[in-house]
């Protein structure tokens, strides 16, 4: 009795390769020409925290105004893990 072609199950992703949201990254050189510093994190808030800390420590920004926050935020990019 022929029941036709057998169905092949779709491959499942390995449990350790769960899909994640893209990481976020910021390159300071996109805001401060010549600066090669960059950071990458899972959450935008962590990228922002690191970027503000960098601006204070490296570029001597004592006051971080809302315009600076928006400039940093607008330059944060989404990237996929290289793994």
Task: Provide the terminal-to-terminal Cα distance of the chain, rounded to the nearest Å.
Answer: 47
pLDDT recorded at residue 16: 57
Distance (Å, rounded) from C-alpha 68 to C-alpha 64?
A: 6
pTM, 2 dp: 0.72
For residue 13, give the DSSP letter: P
Distance (Å, rounded) from C-alpha 13 to C-alpha 28?
A: 35
pLDDT recorded at residue 62: 94
The DSSP H or E segment spanning 26 is strand 23-27
Crossing angle (nearest 10°) for helices 44-59 and 66-74: 120
The pair of three-digit structure tokens given for residue 34, joined into one six-digit string: 């010549």
Residue-by-residue pLDDT tens, the chain, 83 positions: 566 666 656 666 665 555 567 899 999 999 999 999 999 999 999 999 999 999 999 999 999 999 999 999 999 999 986 55
């Amino acid at each position: 009795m022929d029941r036709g072609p057998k169905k092949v199950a779709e491959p499942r992703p390995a449990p350790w390769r769960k899909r994640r949201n893209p990481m976020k990254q910021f390159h300071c050189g996109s805001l401060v020409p010549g600066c090669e510093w960059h950071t990458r994190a899972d959450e935008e808030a962590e990228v922002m925290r690191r970027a503000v800390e960098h601006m204070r420590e490296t570029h001597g920004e004592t006051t971080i105004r809302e315009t600076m926050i928006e400039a940093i935020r607008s330059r944060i990019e989404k990237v996929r893990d290289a793994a």
